[in-house]
């Protein structure tokens, strides 16, 4: 049977009465520590959030809620021992138990852990907007964090054995969401023997050899990790997710090693696939390597799972492929003339011009007419490599975009690319009175929600692109006004110099006339002076730049009106994040 909810230090659970005490604590309470939330309940323990009344410090305290057998007392203490010796950013950190709580509950000590305020991964997956999986940026962040945490545990000869969304918590660290592994209550220290034959865990994420009570090794965590990542991509588990493990294991155990997905048709037939199901949020360039990675992680054979060790690096091949996925340099470009996103895998040291040639091939917009803008409205620098389109540490097309405009056009007539309804949603649209079984109805509902949310995100991205264009226009306008002011200043200086020159010429001509009365003259000099006077007069005619000032002011007025329009206002979260 599956255990109860997660005994983890993540937030987001029900509010407990202020000042409620730990079961079994001394009558005097926990001194300045006040219980604020009940974070989770597991097979043996409760996890509660305690906050210090004076300092505001918060800590997650795990206490035993049952009388334990000797074996389970050893397991409880073993978890505390494991937690205390681990130190990794993607494994929840054990803390010193506050002095006021340093007592036994049901004959076992308390476990103090860092408090993670973002709740657990299950809470995130259960949000309606994630019914067809998480965003690409969230998936890649999870892959990086939990992959790193699992490698750390295995390097320290520890198998977790109970990886599942409820045992992954989220922590906001400086505006970045960090995923952390919790609940090592079922972890097995390999120093106790590399193969183990006893297990109680969460069966839906359980590797087949554990389910069958066979011996196992670190590859059990690969299966659980692969199952979790698949669920984050698709919104459901990979193999007959509507069935209980006792049922689906029998139907899946003879699958091809490369099969990563199985669904049951209306007639009861099981359909296998080596590909990820649609819809999902991964861009096309990541899908194939992700499928290759999942094929290694979801191999039924524990000996083959993970791909074995790479002979050159002595690292499991699954983690090499994972690193390859995470290190891909992909630039995502929204073509504002068609509302279509095109993605390019950047070559090492690729120039911006090389990227623009590829963009021209995909979009038909010539390199000379391409205007590539960042979200801030700044143009890409042609002197810098194409990697300026990618921000280090920022992954996923939903988190960072470059906007493509066609300089030869001021109005985009389309046609704009639009989302199409999935077959199952379209089926319901055509016949809204049709009755479907609950699993199929849930699938239709999920894909309909995914479609509507996708439309909203498409709209927000187009708005963001228009805003980038407006910011660019404002920047150009500011530069234009600066240049105009410099030109006016220079014009006024030239005008003053020209007037001074005119006066000098007139004065020289007057003096020359006086000299002629005494017979002193030079026709050549007189001709040169008159030519200079004519040129000065011509310059005086060309020096009027007032009309430029008027045109620039008119343009500025139009831009101010554009800023005031509702179309220039930030729209939703995408706009507010700028």
**SS3 category, 29:** coil
Residue 560 parent element (H or E): helix 546-564
Cα four-point dihedral sign 549, 554, 555, 560: positive
Query: Residues marked as binding for ATP?
Result: 62
Pairing of strands 330-335, 402-406: parallel
- Which residues lie across from 279 on neighbouring strands? none
Kind plus residue range of the DSSP H or E element containing 452: helix 438-516
Residue with tokens 């006024």: 492
Rounded to whole angstroms, the Cα distance separating 6 from 368 reads 57
215-252 burial, b at 16+ Cβ within 10 Å, e below that, comes to: ebbbbbbbbbbbbbbbbbbbbbbbbbbebebeebbebb
Distance of CA 231 to the CA centre of its chain: 17
Residues 386, 351 contacting (CB under 8 angstroms): yes
Annotated binding site: 62
Calculate Rg over the CA atoms of the chain: 35
User: Are 307 and 324 a contacting pair, CB within 8 Å?
Assistant: no
Report which secondary-structure segment, H or E, holds 141: helix 136-155
170 forms bridges with which residues in the sheet? Answer: 179
What are 342's strand-pairing partners?
Answer: 333
The CA distance from 315 to 312, in Å, is 8
**CB proximity list for 470: less than 8 A, separation 6 or greater:** 377, 562, 563, 568
Q: Which residue has the tokens 């007032």?
A: 546
DSSP 316: B
**Does residue 463 sit in helix, strand or coil?**
helix
Query: Using CA atoms, how far apart are residues 424 and 436, in angstroms rounded to an integer?
Result: 11
How far out from the chain centre does Cα 564 lie?
31
Q: Which residues are catalytic?
A: 162
> Residue-wise over 337-355: b if at least 16 C-beta within 10 A, else e?
bbbebbebebeeebebeeb
Residue 436 tokens read as 């479907």
């Amino acid at each position: 049977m599956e255990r109860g909810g997660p005994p983890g230090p993540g937030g987001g659970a029900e509010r407990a009465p202020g000042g409620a005490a730990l079961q079994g604590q001394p009558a005097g309470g926990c001194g300045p520590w006040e219980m604020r939330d009940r974070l989770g309940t597991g097979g043996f323990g409760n996890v509660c959030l305690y906050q210090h009344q004076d300092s505001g410090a918060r800590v997650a305290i795990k206490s035993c809620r049952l009388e334990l057998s000797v074996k389970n007392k050893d397991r409880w203490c073993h978890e505390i021992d494991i937690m205390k010796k681990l130190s990794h950013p993607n494994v929840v950190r054990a803390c010193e138990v506050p002095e006021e709580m340093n007592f036994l509950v049901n004959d076992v000590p308390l476990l103090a852990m860092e408090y993670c305020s973002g709740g657990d991964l299950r809470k995130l997956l259960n949000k309606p907007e994630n019914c067809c999986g998480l965003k690409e940026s969230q998936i890649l962040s999870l892959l990086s964090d939990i992959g790193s945490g699992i490698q750390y545990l295995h390097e320290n000869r520890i198998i977790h054995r109970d990886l599942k969304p409820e045992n992954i918590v989220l922590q906001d660290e400086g505006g970045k969401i960090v995923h952390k592994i919790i609940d090592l209550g079922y972890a097995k220290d390999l120093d106790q023997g590399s193969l183990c034959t006893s297990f109680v865990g969460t069966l839906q994420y359980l590797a087949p050899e554990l389910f069958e009570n066979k011996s196992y090794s670190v590859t059990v965590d690969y299966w659980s990790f692969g199952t979790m990542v698949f669920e984050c991509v698709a919104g459901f588990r990979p193999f007959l997710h509507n069935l209980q493990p006792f049922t689906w294991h029998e139907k899946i155990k003879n699958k091809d090693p490369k099969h990563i997905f199985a669904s049951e048709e209306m007639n009861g037939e099981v359909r296998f696939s080596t590909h990820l199901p649609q819809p999902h949020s991964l861009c096309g360039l990541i899908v194939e390597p992700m499928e290759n990675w999942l094929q290694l992680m979801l191999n039924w054979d524990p000996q083959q799972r993970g791909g074995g060790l790479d002979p050159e690096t002595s690292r499991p091949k699954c983690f090499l492929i994972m690193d390859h996925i995470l290190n891909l340099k992909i630039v995502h470009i929204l073509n504002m003339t068609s509302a279509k996103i095109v993605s390019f895998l950047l070559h090492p040291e690729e120039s911006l011009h090389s990227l623009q040639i590829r963009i021209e091939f995909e979009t038909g917009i010539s390199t000379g007419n391409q205007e590539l803008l960042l979200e801030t409205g700044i143009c890409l620098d042609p002197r810098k490599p194409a990697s300026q389109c990618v921000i280090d540490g920022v992954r996923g097309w939903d988190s960072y975009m470059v906007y493509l405009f066609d300089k030869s056009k001021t109005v985009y007539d389309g046609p704009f690319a639009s989302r199409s309804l999935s077959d199952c949603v379209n089926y319901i649209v055509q016949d809204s009175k049709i009755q479907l079984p609950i699993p199929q109805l849930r699938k239709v509902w999920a894909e309909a929600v995914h479609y509507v949310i996708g439309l909203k995100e498409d709209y927000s991205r187009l708005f963001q692109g228009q805003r980038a264009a407006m910011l660019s226009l404002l920047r150009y306008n500011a530069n234009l006004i600066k240049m105009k002011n410099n030109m006016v200043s220079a014009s006024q200086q030239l005008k003053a110099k020209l007037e001074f020159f005119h006066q000098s010429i007139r004065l020289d001509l007057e003096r020359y006339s006086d000299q002629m009365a005494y017979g002193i003259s030079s026709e050549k000099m007189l001709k040169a002076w008159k030519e200079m006077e004519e040129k000065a007069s011509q310059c005086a005619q060309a020096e009027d730049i007032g009309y430029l000032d008027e045109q620039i002011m008119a343009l500025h007025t139009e831009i101010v009106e554009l800023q005031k329009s509702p179309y220039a206002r930030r729209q939703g979260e995408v706009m507010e994040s700028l």
